[in-house]
Amino acid sequence: MDDDEPMTVSRLFQLTGLTSSRAEAYRVIRAGGAYLNNRKITPPDELVFDSDVLHGKYLILRKGKRNVAAVELTD
């Protein structure tokens, strides 16, 4: 993957294994079943910003009601 590529929610869903591909992530987001920090994601290409990071280093992703992934950002 290109490190210069902006980090999108759909890319995070794929990287964490919540979805097997970005196309699947797009489908989940369009269906209304994707959440970032318990906030529903609507555009599939939504970017992740510094303001989305919890306690300076965490992101919580959720697909549906029970599939959850945590992302810890490191330097």
> Dihedrals φ, ψ of 11, to 5°?
-65, -40
pLDDT at res. 5: 73
pLDDT at res. 3: 64
CA distance 31 to 42: 9
- Say if residues 28 and 19 touch (Cβ distance below 8 Å): yes
Tens of pLDDT along the chain (75 residues)? 456 678 899 999 999 999 999 999 999 999 999 999 999 999 989 999 989 999 999 999 999 999 999 999 887
CA distance 14 to 8: 10
Task: Give the residue carrying structure tokens 């280093």.
Answer: 57
